[in-house]
Structure 1
Amino acid sequence: MLSMMDEPLVTIGMPVRNGGDQIRVAIDSLLSQTHRNLRLIISDNCSTDDTVAICEAYAREDSRVTVVRQPENLGICGNFRFVLMQAESPYFMWACHDDVWAPEFVRKNLANLTANPAAVASTSRVIMALPEGPQELSNGTFALRGDQRERLARFFWDPGEVSRFYGVFRTEALKRSFPADIDVFGYDWIVMALNLLEGEHLELPEVLLTREAHTEDHYHRTLVRNQPKALYRWLPHLPMTQVLRHRLPPEVWRACRGAIMRRNAIQMLMYAKYRLPLMAPVVRTLAQLERARTRSGNSSAHPL
């Protein structure tokens, strides 16, 4: 286990591979947090660019930074889990190499958790930004309160970009939410679902994080590249659904299985649009109908 003389209140885990073009801005914004009592663990997943050299330069200048060079590629899910499991602090957050945090992000989310003992996670509103493109608010940070069934059912009805994954968490509850055997498409949804069994998720009303958005077909191109089974390409959330059926308490599964099946149908249509461009007009029409039917309160339709 990694150690330091004065264990911080917050550990920030940054899994990265080939992030040299953008990582300086991300690290600078993390080390400039007004909450200073933190540790940044960077886990390099066999980068082939100058990522390691950049990160090690920061580590030499700031004792709060630790760089771990993985001897073999852990995969995305494995690297995210690795940095979490190194944390010994009461609170933890993940950080991507291409995101930027306002200086008050950590302090305000910590204060939110301190004031709400029933909560296990807090995040701010989030801006999603495409390089040289438009910016829009993430629809994946809304608060999730109530009992377990209410929290899970609302989450799966419209998880959005799951930007809540990048909030501040109570460490031990998050570790219990990240089993070692869930490396499937949608693993971040699984982790958030299991974390919602632990307690409530909170949202600050202000924007304190800017995330780099991906193009519409990014995840499906990744799926084609990494998934050899055609069935799981057309039903990308089927493995996720199988994990959830096994992991969720029966009464919680019954409460949210309809929303989970709906997510499977939406993802199948998104993949069909990607693989069969002639399907795009049909999918867009269905998306418009879906948005008109479900847009109310804090919820918004999943973008097809």
Structure 2
Amino acid sequence: MMDEPQVTIGMPVRNGGQQIRTAIDSLLAQTHRNIRLVISDNCSTDETREICREYAERDSRVTLHEQPVNLGICGNFRFVLMQAKTPYFLWACHDDIWSPEFIQRNLENLMAHPSAVCSTSRVAMVSLEGDRHLSNGTFALQGDKVERLRRFLWDPGEVSRFYGVFRTEALKRSFPEDIDVFGYDWIVMALNLLEGEHLELPEVLLTREDHTVDHYQKTLVRWEPRRLYRWMPHLPMSRILRDRLPAEVWKASRRGVLRRNAIQTLMYAKYRIPVMAPLVNGLASLERARSRTRSNIRVGA
């Protein structure tokens, strides 16, 4: 008889298509077997619901919620988290692939470090064209909370730490209901870093689909009718962080938040005014080179 599950996997999805089969198969093949997979289908218009029903019918570890109304991306991520009754939790996207030992290795890492609230492996980002690079958003964040938040908000990278293994109750406290803004995942990670440290395993145990920069700009245009918040999409996020972070943490982190606002404005300018692309690309190249240097130092340490 299988023990009570230790880990809930929350998979929020809308129109996952055939990619979701590969994702679910890799999750159900984890070496740590005591899991619960909670899928929340957010009004899909393709075959996603039918595929997920198949898995729920043949594997008792899988539960499917078919949402009657669209919860939005942020709302659907929060929904699956709030279903968790296990000590540990991770989010899963329909287009990602996990190595069999992903959960086991990160769970062992958390158990060995009581002060930590998150553990992730390194993450490979792979584009539809097959280009591959390491995510720059999984680096460990340890030490006191002021230093953790300062380092994170200065350069959060691709925020792939969002898909690590978390202590459930600490993560629930980090995800308020009223943060449905562009960059909500950064807010959740910032609030979670108030709860404790984030760890990184040196191995690549997760592969994620890498979207183009324009993917996020197109999403912004589609969902944000206000022109100001298209040009300054992180302004609502910044206000939430200012109001929710302790004063000493905000004081140490606000320069990084301002920097993120400037970078996002430049990326939107590149999208809306193509003539600015060479300038923005040049600045982005400098950022990538600096990130690769930092990553190489960590790997070689």
**TM-score category (smaller protein):** over 0.9
**Does residue 290 of structure 2 align to residue 281 of structure 1?**
no
Query: What's 1:59 paired with?
Result: 56
Report the CA distance shift for 1:293/1:138 in structure 2 as closer, same or farther (over 3 A).
Answer: closer
Deviations 1:149-198 (A, max 9, x none): 10011111111110000000000000000000000000000000000000
Q: 2:294 aligns with which of 290, 294, 297?
A: 297
How far off its partner does 1:6 sit? 6.2
TM-score by length of 1: 0.94
Report the CA distance shift for 1:58/1:241 in structure 2 as closer, same or farther (over 3 A).
Answer: same
Structure 1 unaligned residues grouped into runs of 5+: none
Give 1:140's aligned amino acid: G
Q: Secondary structure at the match of 1:189?
A: helix
Distance of 2:293 and 2:196 partners within structure 1: 24
Report the CA distance shift for 1:169/1:294 in structure 2 as closer, same or farther (over 3 A).
Answer: closer
- Asked if 2 retains the 8 angstrom alpha-carbon contact of 1:139 and 1:299, the reply is no
Give 1:146's aligned amino acid: G
After TM superposition, list the pairs within 5 Å mapping 1:261-272 onto structure 2: 261-272=258-269
- Asked if 2 retains the 8 angstrom alpha-carbon contact of 1:120 and 1:173, the reply is yes
Give 1:69's aligned amino acid: E
Q: 2:42 aligns with which of 42, 45, 50?
A: 45
Deviations 1:196-217 (A, max 9, x none): 0000000000000000111121
Q: Secondary structure at the match of 1:120?
A: strand
Q: Secondary structure at the match of 1:297?
A: helix
- Asked if 2 retains the 8 angstrom alpha-carbon contact of 1:7 and 1:88, the reply is no
Aligned residues: 296
Report the CA distance shift for 1:6/1:153 in structure 2 as closer, same or farther (over 3 A).
Answer: same
How far off its partner does 1:225 sit? 0.6
Distance of 1:267 and 1:23 partners within structure 2: 30
Distance of 2:58 and 2:250 partners within structure 1: 49
Q: Secondary structure at the match of 1:261?
A: helix
**Does residue 5 of structure 2 align to residue 11 of structure 1?**
no
**Does residue 212 of structure 2 align to residue 208 of structure 1?**
no
Q: Secondary structure at the match of 1:136?
A: strand
Distance of 1:226 and 1:296 partners within structure 2: 35
Query: What's 2:31 paired with?
Result: 34
Query: What's 1:223 paired with?
Result: 220
Q: 1:178 aligns with which of 175, 180, 189?
A: 175
Q: Secondary structure at the match of 2:150?
A: helix
Report the CA distance shift for 1:259/1:34 in structure 2 as closer, same or farther (over 3 A).
Answer: same
TM-score by length of 2: 0.95
How far off its partner does 1:282 sit? 1.3
Deviations 1:105-163 (A, max 9, x none): 00000000000000000000000011133011000000000111100111111111100
Give 2:16's aligned amino acid: G
**Does residue 67 of structure 2 align to residue 70 of structure 1?**
yes
How far off its partner does 1:294 sit? 7.1
- Asked if 2 retains the 8 angstrom alpha-carbon contact of 1:238 and 1:264, the reply is yes
Query: What's 1:250 paired with?
Result: 247
Distance of 2:94 and 2:73 partners within structure 1: 13
Structure 2 unaligned residues grouped into runs of 5+: none
How far off its partner does 1:228 sit? 0.7
Q: Secondary structure at the match of 1:42?
A: strand
